[in-house]
Amino acid sequence: MIFVTVGVQLPFDRLIRVVDEWAEKANRSDVVAQVGASTYSPKRLTVYAQLAIDEFKKFVEQAEVVVAHAGMGSIITALELGKPIIIMPRLASLGEHRNDHQLATAAHMAAQKLINVAHNQEELLSLLDKVGPLEGVHRANPHASPELLNTVKSFIQRVDHRERRKATVFNKLSSVLNKIA
């Protein structure tokens, strides 16, 4: 089964249309899509406008591959469950989003070799034709590493120390000003 998700806030008809047309040509009847506010009516896909979180996760768990916009929720869920994911970033120039932050997300994740990125219809079709042996399947750890936790803890302690020092200086300054007044 292939699971397609485009989030629920904005339509992403370009992605849904390409996958629908591919499913028709490939004679795939096992493509399920969470289409959000899409205005395109797929002919071949089983569609849901929205899914509850547990339903969404269930579809990802069952999928042989996830196809999604470059939304971090979709990417993280696929990685946590060890599912290959193809992402196609939304483009502001096509009215698919307010800005092109999804291009930056796609570039960053692709550089980590964690995902498969399709920047256009042709690349998406090529990746869909390879469903099965897709590269970039790494199961992400849902827990923070000790290194990350130590780094965050150290940062908080440094900030807290600076704030205490500032408070001490402020209190001394206030005391001096009160004596002058």
pLDDT, tens digit (0-9, with 9 covering 90-100), for 57-79: 999 999 999 999 988 889 989 98
Q: Could you give phi then psi for residue 86, rounded to 5 degrees?
A: -110, 125
H or E stretch covering 2: strand 2-5
Q: How far apart are CA 156 and CA 95, in angstroms?
A: 40
Residue with tokens 């930056």: 104
Q: How far apart are CA 20 and CA 113, in angstroms?
A: 27
pLDDT band at 133 (very low <50, low <70, confident <90, very high): very low
Helix residue spans in 36-120 (DSSP H) = 53-62, 72-80, 101-111
Q: Can you say whether the dihedral through the CA atoms of 35, 39, 44, 48 is positive or negative?
A: positive
Percentage of residues in the chain with pLDDT exceeding 90? 49
18 CB-near residues (< 8 Å, 6+ apart): 88, 121, 124, 125
